[in-house]
Structure formats: C-alpha cells, structure tokens
Structure 1
Amino acid sequence: MWGANYTVSKYGILELTPEMFTFLRFAIVFPLLLLAVLWKERSLAIERRDILRLVFTGLVGIAIYQTLFMTSVKYTSATHSSLMIALSPIFTGILAIIGGQEKFTWRVQAGSLISFLGAAAVIGLGDEGVSFYSRSFFGDMMGLLAAFFWGWYPVLAAPLVRKYSSLRVTAWSSVVGVLALLLMNIHQFSRTSWHWHVMTWASLFYSAILVTVYGLVAWYYGVSQIGPTKVMVYMYAIPLVAILVAAGVLHEAINSWQIIGALVILAGITIVKTEGKRNAAVSTHPSMGRGRREL
C-alpha cells in the first residue's frame, strides 16, 4: 500500500495542489488517529513543556514533509520520487550525529556517500539526463528535500516517543500539520471547488485510510508481534513496489543504469541501518528502528 501510493497519489494531484491534497488527507486522518490513541491508551495528554517540541515536530514531519512529498510525486516519476525519499535514513543518521544523539562513525558516512552516488545515477543517467529547468529535475530535488525533512523527523521526535507512544506523537503531529496547512493556505482553500473527479476522491481516501490509518495500525501490530528489526526488512519493498506499480499502471520506464543506481542506494541505506541498530538513541522512525513511516 505504501509503495503503490506513489502512483495512486498522482491521480489526486491532477486536480488538487500538493498543499490541498495533504491538508485534506490529514484532516481525514487526525480524528481517526486521536480516537485510536484514546481507545488504546485511554489518554491524549501531552505535558505543557513538550508542546513546543511537538509543534515543531508536526510542522517538519507533516506540514513540510508531506507537502514536499506530494510536490515530488507531482513533478517527477513515481520511480524517482520513491528512490529519492528512500534516502531519508541517510539524513537521519547524519542529523542524529550533528544533534549529538549518535556518535560519528565512518560507517554512516560511507553508507551516506554510497547512497548519494546511487541517487546521482538515478537522476543523471535517466533518459532525460540532467536539465536544471525540467519538471523531472525539480521533482527529484523536491524528493531529496522531502527525504531531508523526513529524516529530521525522528531526530526531533526522539525525546517525545521516549515519554509517549509513537501513535500519540503521530496523532498530535497530524493535528499540528493540518492547522499549519490551513493557516498557510486558507485563501486557496476558500476558493477551491469540491466538484472533483471520482479518481481524485479515490486517491485521497486511499492515501488517508489505507496508507495512513491502516498502514500505521498494521505497522505497529507488526512491531509488537515480531519486533522492529524483522519488520524493518519490509521497508526495502517500498521502492520496489513503487517501481513495479508505476511501470504497470503509468508505464514508467527505468534503464539498466538507473537499476544499478537504485541498488547502490539500497546498499548505502543497508550500511547506515546496520549501524543504526547498534545505537538505539534514535528509535522513532522505521528507517532507523521502532516507529512509523508515512507516505
């Protein structure tokens, strides 16, 4: 479901802007997540001293990241977007070191360099090559920027999930994200027509209900049953599924050099993740340990 979302979301942003799609998606999601937290934990409380960090975490992980993700999906191929955003654990490793949550290791730096070389191959060795003014290049850069913010999210959220559950932090982050998107785009929203194609609605509800709500519940259930390390293996399937679905539905092509680049990206991520398992300082993101990933 997460991998297919790169293709499904494209139908939603044919009529909606990335900001509008993200706002509507999480407007549907956040009450369901709050109800899930209340049902499971019998409390929604967040201490006053943690509110500022929660707000910043929600801005980074929901409002900014999700909008950049949708922008990337809009302007570049689903294949490229999935591979760029797959780099998020690389940024998590780097930012965790900068923030003092992990120690500097050459292993993380080597894995980061390898992954970025793979990303350069995917972008530069495609059929279009590198054109700084092309839609695809802009979408690729938005994907890289999205990966940075998604990598930053677990570093920001780490102190919160040590005190509260990941589900509670995610639910309140969604509330912050929705409010921020509403305030930043209120004039655009007020002029939006609600007479959309059925595929737009289908894309929106797929992303909200199946990808976000069901996806999170399934993820947490998997972690509770077999542990984060075994569940982590399935994260490698997301770019693969994204590429296969895009090829089957959108007829996107990927050449042999880009396939090599994709494998190089995954190799670099593997190196960084292996190091991450040795250090539990950052454990809120599926790409580095226990937690969640929302696409």
Structure 2
Amino acid sequence: MDGKAILMGLAFGLMWASAFTSARVIVQYAPPLYALAFRFLLSGVFGVFLARMMGQSWHLTRRQWVAVLVFGISQNALYLGLNFIAMQTIEASLAAIVASTMPLLVGVASWLVFGEKIRPLGIAGLVAGMIGVALIMGARLQGTVDLFGLGLCVVAVISLTVATLSVRGASSGGNFLMIVGLQMLVGSAMLWIPALAFETFDVTWSWQLIVAFTYTVIVPGLGATLIWFYLVDRIGATPAAVFHFLTPFFGVSIAAMLLGEKLGSMDIIGVLIITGGILAVQLSKQR
C-alpha cells in the first residue's frame, strides 16, 4: 500500500465519518427522506454531468449495472434512509458506532456465505468487536436511547454490508464517477416513493441546514464515494476496507466537537475495542 493510497484512505475515513454529524443537523430542520432524496438527486445529476464532461460513458457492463442497482438501493436508499430517520431520535455518535460494525459483519458474511477462511487474528478481531459493541450498548441502554431508532440503525448497517459485498463488481471497468452518479440517482428514485407517501414537506430554513446540506452533497456524497471507488480499484476491496476502522473514532470525535454530544467511559473503551477489532479482522486478510 503506497503513500497515495494511505492518504486516500484517511480522507475517505474522515469524510465518511463526518456524514453522521451533518445528517444529524439536517434532520433537525427538514424531513429526512425528502432531504436525502433531494441530496441524491443533486449529487447524481452533478456526478453524471461531470462524468460526461470527462468523457466517461454510461454504457456500463452487465456486472456494473447490477452492482450499481444493488449499491444504490442497499447503501443509498436503505442504509442512509434508515439512518436519517433514526437520527431524528438518536445521537450521531451512536449511529456512527453502529455503522462502524460493518467490516465485522462483512467478515462474518464472508465466512458464512462465501466460505472464506478466517485466521486466528481475524477471529480475535470479531470477538473483540462484539465485546466492544456489547459494552457500548449495555451502557447506552441504561439511559434514554430510543430503541426504535437503534433498531433502524441495525437494519441499516446490514444493508450497508450487502452494498459493500457488491462493490467489487462496480469498481471494475472504469467510469468511476459515472457509476457514483448513477447509483445516487437509483437511491434518489427509491427514496422519493416513501417520502411522498409518508412525509410532509415541512422545512425550517436556517444557515445550519444550508451548510450541512451543501456539505453532505459534496463531501460525503460525491467526494467520499468517489475516493472509495478509486481506492478499491487501486489496492483492492479487502485492503481498502481497513480504513473503515477509522469510522468509530472519527465519527464520535466529530459529533462530540461539533454537536457537543457527551461520551461516557464505556463509549470510549468500546470504540477503541471496536476499532482494534476491525483492524485485526482486515489485517488478517492481508497476505
């Protein structure tokens, strides 16, 4: 792994983790599904337009189209849609912690579904990750955590796991920006349906909403996703997944700094254990 790949991974981790804080701000002022559908519409149109200006084609391979649909539905519509709804009632730091278990779930799924062998270091990482989650959830459930919102986050991270397992098909054959734009349009199309059916377009306009929405469209939306595809293409999906271990640390740190969310001692210990577990699982896959 070269220096450029490391910088790309660090940038991705920071951008991806920051999305929880900006999303928490957005849902305080706007209905979550409307906001997310509109965000993906803007990001998708801008991404496709920019890709065409760069000479990229939307004539993708069959594997790419399948992966774009799966990624758009699983990550954008289900994962982010459910997280946006959940963050109306739970803190951004908790949502980031739940989402950070995705690499652990990918490891378990790879073992159970694809028969991938796990080395002792990987098994230790999975166990450590589960212990970390148990510590955090045990401490949080003694407080005033909204169980419905927490449940939505759990379903969301399962959807993200499916999306991650499909990313290999979308990262081969080039046209990365076009793929990013198209999968965002897929997510937008899926989100407009429940938004129109179940939500009222009631927006409280403020500079906080405008800044958070603009940031979410550009940085976690286009920027982080594009960097991820380039990173997977450069070093492979398994080595790239190592950088997901940054999500719990960056996610809770940004939420604490910008939103003033309080972190207990069990939160900090749990995050460190989960981070170490994720790193161990990913390093166990390296040759």
Question: Is TM (by shorter chain) over 0.5?
Answer: yes
Q: How is 1:1-295 mapped onto 2 (pairs within 5 angstroms)?
A: 1-47=15-61, 51-100=65-114, 102-103=116-117, 105=119, 107-126=121-140, 129=142, 134-135=145-146, 137-188=147-198, 191-193=200-202, 196-217=205-226, 235-278=244-287
Contact 1:112 1:268 in 2 (8 A): yes
Secondary structure in structure 2 of the residue aligned to 1:203: helix
The structure with higher relative contact order (CA 8 Å, sep 6+) is 2
> 1:18-62 deviations in whole A, cap 9, x for unaligned?
222211111111012213332445311124576455323321121
Q: Could you tell me how far apart the structure 2 residues matched to 1:263 and 1:270 are?
A: 11
Secondary structure in structure 1 of the residue aligned to 2:285: helix
Q: Could you tell me how far apart the structure 2 residues matched to 1:243 and 1:53 are?
A: 30
Contact 2:129 2:274 in 1 (8 A): yes
Task: Give unpaired runs (5+ residues) of structure 2.
Answer: 1-14
CA RMSD in angstroms comes to 3.2
> 1:249-293 deviations in whole A, cap 9, x for unaligned?
332222222211111111110111113334xxxxxxxxxxxxxxx
Deviation at 1:69, TM superposition (A): 2.1
Q: Could you tell me how far apart the structure 2 residues matched to 1:6 and 1:51 are?
A: 28
> 1:63-92 deviations in whole A, cap 9, x for unaligned?
101112223333222221111111111112
Contact 1:61 1:150 in 2 (8 A): yes
Contact 1:64 1:149 in 2 (8 A): yes
When the two structures are superposed, what TM-score results if normalisation uses the length of structure 1?
0.78
Task: Give unpaired runs (5+ residues) of structure 1.
Answer: 279-295
Give the partner amino acid of 1:169.
Answer: I
Q: Number of matched residues? A: 273
Of the structure 1 ranges 216-225 and 113-122, higher mean CA displacement relative to structure 2 is found in: 216-225
Q: Could you tell me how far apart the structure 1 residues matched to 2:165 and 2:230 are?
A: 23
Contact 1:82 1:242 in 2 (8 A): yes
Of the structure 1 ranges 225-234 and 69-78, higher mean CA displacement relative to structure 2 is found in: 225-234
Q: What fraction of aligned residue pairs are identical, expressed as a percent?
A: 20
